[in-house]
Amino acid sequence: MDKVRATVIFNDASVKLIAIESINWKYVKTDMGCRFFANMEPIAVIVCHRRGVYAMDMSAQPMVLEQLKRDVPGLARILHDDGRSDS
């Protein structure tokens, strides 16, 4: 199963950093028990500061913030709760 999530990784008076991560896990039941496999992969980072909100992928290429808001559960709320947000 794949899931995308937003996590605030740093927040102070001048800047907030939000990581967008892909979580992938798999549960397999075998004759000898069960196994659980999981990994987490960074997809993007969002920088919120007084001059604006910027999203970039892991290659530092710009991303469309509105698309991320639609695709990542909870991201719009995190941005809305932030006074530096453009939403």
Query: What are the domain boundaries of the chain?
Result: 2-80
For residue 35, the one-letter residue type is R
Burial of 20 (0-12, 13-18, 19+ CB in 10 A): buried
- Distance between CA atoms of residues 15 and 47, nearest Å: 7
Per-residue pLDDT of the chain (87 residues), as tens digits, is: 579 999 999 999 999 999 999 999 998 998 999 999 999 999 999 999 999 999 999 999 999 999 999 999 999 999 988 655 444
Q: What is the pTM of this model?
A: 0.80
